[in-house]
Amino acid sequence: MTTAASVEDITAESMRAARRAIEYYFEDEATDGLPVVPPIQEFVDEFLATTRRDPDEVISSQEHLHRTLTVRQAAINAVMAGCKPEYFPVLLTAIEALDGAPSWRGGLLQSTTGQAQLILVNGPVRNQLGFNYQQGVYGPGFRPNATIGRAVRMIIMNVFGIRPGELDQGCQGSSSRYTFCIAENEEDSPWEPFHVEKGLSPEESAVSTTFARGLLHVEQRHSQEPRTILSSIGDTMAYGGGVDPGHGLEVHPPGNGGGIAVIGPEHANLIAAKGWSKKDAKECLWEVYGRTVGELRRAGKPWGLDGRPDDEFIRFGRSPDAINIIVAGGYNCGISSVIMGAGLTTKAIPSS
C-alpha cells in the first residue's frame, strides 16, 4: 500500500480532503458508524492483487434477499474497514467458511437475537500478520483483529443491506458486531491447536467461524483443581438467558447442543498439569453444562418437563464432542470466558 514518506509530507489540505471523503461515506450511510478509508480503485487493486481469484467471482449470497457478494465487493469493504492488503486472503477464507454454515444462508443474519460472527485464526498467519492472541485478546489495539472482523460486518451492511431498523431485526444487537476476531494462543496452550483438532496440520493457517451472541467472563482465581475451574466455566456456559424454549431441549443454543469455552492459558496449564487432556476437559464441562428442572421452571422455561422432578438435571450438550475448547488470552489473571455460539466451521487459508 502506498503511504507518505513521513508525516511532514501530509499537508493540511490533504487532511481536509480526507475528512471530506470520510464525511461523504457517513452521508451515504456506507459505514458502521465509524470513519472508513475511501476505497479508491488503486487501493482496491492492491487487495485484488493478493488473490488469483476473478474479481467478479461470487463467493457468498443471501438468496432470500437476492443479493450476492463478489471478490471485488469484499475487497472494497476490506479497504473501507482499514484492512491491509495482506489480510485479504484471511477475510476471503472467513467469508467462505461462514457461507457454508446453515445459519448464514438460513436468514440468521437478520435474527432478532442479533448475533455477531466470530472469526478464530490459527496457524503461522497469526504471527506473520500480527494478530493478538494474548493479553486483551477481545479488546482493541491490534489492526488485524479489529479490521478483519469489521470488514465482515461492513459486507453484511453494505453488500447485503442488512442494517439495524431495516433488514436487521436484532432487538439489542451486540458490541461484538463491530468486530469479533481473535487468534488462538497456540504458544501457551498445553493442548493441540483448534485447527489441528479439526484435521489440519500445525503448519497450515486456518480460519474457524460461527454465529455468536457474545461472551461471558469466568473468574476463578481461588482454585487450582481442574474440576473446580471447569465447573465454573461449565456453569457459565449454561446460563439461563441462553436457553430458548421455542427451540426445545434438543436444539438448545448453540444449535448443535455444544458451546465454546475460551480457556485462559493460566487455567489451561493448571488443568493440563494435573494430567487432564482436552478430551478430559470437554467431558467435565459436559457434565455440568445444564440446569435442573426446578431451575428451568423458575426461569419460566419449563417446556416438555411436565411431571419431571425438580432435581432432575437436564444437560444442554448433546455430547462432550459438541463442546469446543480454545486457548486464548494472557497469564496472571485466573480468567477464562465463554462464547455463546454454535459449532465452528474450519477452513484452511490457501497458500499464496
pLDDT digits (tens, 9 = 90+) for 3-51: 545 677 789 999 999 999 999 999 999 999 999 999 999 999 999 999 9
pLDDT of 256 higher than 50: no
Q: Of all residues in the chain, what percent carry a pLDDT higher than 90?
A: 74
Cβ atoms 133, 185 nearer than 8 A: yes
Tell me what the mean pLDDT of segment 87-102 comes to: 94
CB 178 within 8 A of CB 214: no
Identify the DSSP state of 349: P
Percent of all residues in the chain with a pLDDT value above 70, rounded to a whole number: 93
Q: What was the pLDDT predicted at 257?
A: 54
Residue 78, pLDDT > 90, answer yes
Confidence grade of residue 254 (pLDDT, cut at 50, 70, 90): very low
Q: DSSP string covering 101-159, please?
A: SHHHHTTGGG-TT--EEEEEEESTHHHHHT---STTTTSSS-HHHHHHHHHHHHHHHHT
Look up residue 102 and give its amino acid.
P
Check: CB of residue 275 under 8 Å from CB of residue 269. Answer: no
Residues 158-183 have pLDDT tens digits of 999 999 988 999 999 999 999 999 99
Mean pLDDT across the chain, nearest whole number?
Answer: 91
**Residue 193 and residue 313: Cα distance in Å, rounded?**
32
**Looking at the DSSP assignment, which residues form a beta bridge with residue 326?**
262
Q: Please give the Cα distance from 9 to 11 (Å, whole number).
A: 6
Report the greatest alpha carbon distance in the chain. Answer: 77
Give CA separation, 205 vs 85, 260, 334, 346, in Å. 17, 20, 29, 10
Indicate the domain borders of the chain. Answer: 7-348
